[in-house]
Structure 1
Amino acid sequence: MSGIFLNKPLRFNSIFTGADLQSTDLGKSISNHLELIIFTRFGEHRHQRNFGCEIWDLDFELIVSESIWEEKFRKSLLKSITSYELRIYNTEVEVRITEVENVYPLRKITEIKKKVDISVRSLIKNTGEKYFFNTALFLSPLST
């Protein structure tokens, strides 16, 4: 496994000026890859149709039971992470839905959105170090 990891977003204009692409450390590289898995829809990657996760299919689904929705998404994400992020092991994924209320006093609008908190805990294969990743998404429309 290469010891050079590239930061995202890739700045290709630096190649044309003779500079190297910006590199990053292993932990940040893993985090970048997990974000890519989360934000990729199944079938979107032309050569790996199973790359991604189910959030895009679940985003507009009517949530009857939050616990069933959380478990379905957690299992999908865990399967994708264990299949496509091979630099970590002993992975645990936690998904939690909460409601967030945004008040816009000038427009006199109150908006309630569902927020999904995602936590990933695992160990890094090369070093045995603990690894922790955390992000949050807002559903319908999906945003960060």
Structure 2
Amino acid sequence: MQIEYYKLPLKLHLLTQKKEHEKCNLSESVAGMIHLIAVTYFGECKHDSTFGCEIWEHDFENISNPQQYRENLIKSVQQTIQKQEKRLTDIRVDIQVEQIDYKFIQRRIKSRITLKVHATLLATNESFVHYDQFFIGPLSYF
């Protein structure tokens, strides 16, 4: 029997309208949780201040030691995933931080975070890979 999970983001208005919420499989549910961990800063989740990661602690800072910054991010994300996502085992995290010349309305240098998570789904013993990318900091040189 395959268990169904609710797809993120939750659409609570569907509950008040007595409609069915969209569902997903185990792998998609875990990927949604990892994405949520990556885009949440510590303290944002009121009932658990340890939910989130260190990425957002340095959002607007100039990074003086990029290698140390990257290692701290990897450690932070890995620790949070191990604590919050009990459906995974053998978790390995890799993060790349790149400076991107981002041209939208005006020229800005932004940091692009590339997150890769390799693990094993505990329930099925299947290999799990999650890949995510996002930008931080309006101006962050290193």
Normalising TM by the smaller chain, what interval?
A: 0.7 to 0.9
1:36 aligns with 2:33: no
Q: 1:15 to 1:90 in 2, by over 3 A?
A: same
Label 1:47 to 1:103 Cα distance change in 2 as closer, same or farther (>3 A). closer
Distance 1:127 1:60, change over 3 A: same
**Of 103, 109, 113, which residue of structure 2 is paired with 1:112?**
109
Q: Percent identity among equivalent residues? A: 26
Shift of 1:141: 4.1
Q: Which is worse superposed, 109-118 or 82-91? A: 109-118
Match of 1:77 in 2: 77
How much does 1:18 deviate?
2.9
Instruction: Give, in angstroms, the shift of residue 111 of structure 1.
Output: 2.6
When normalised by structure 1's length, the TM-score is 0.86
What residue in structure 2 maps to residue 130 of structure 1? 127
Aligned length, in residue pairs:
138
Aligned match of 1:58: 58
Is the CA contact (8 Å cut-off) linking 2:4 and 2:24 kept in structure 1? yes
Retained in 1: the 8 A contact 2:110–2:138? no
| SS of residue paired to 1:115 | strand
Structure 2: 5+ residue runs without aligned partners?
Answer: none
Q: CA deviation at 1:19?
A: 2.2
- Which aligned segments of 4 or more residues in structure 1 are displaced greater than 6 angstroms? none
> What residue is the counterpart of 2:136 in the other structure?
139
1:121 equivalent to 2:133? Answer no
Give the direction of change, closer, same or farther, for the CA distance of 1:64–1:32 in structure 2 (3 Å limit). Answer: same
The higher-RCO structure (CA 8 Å, 6+ apart) is 2
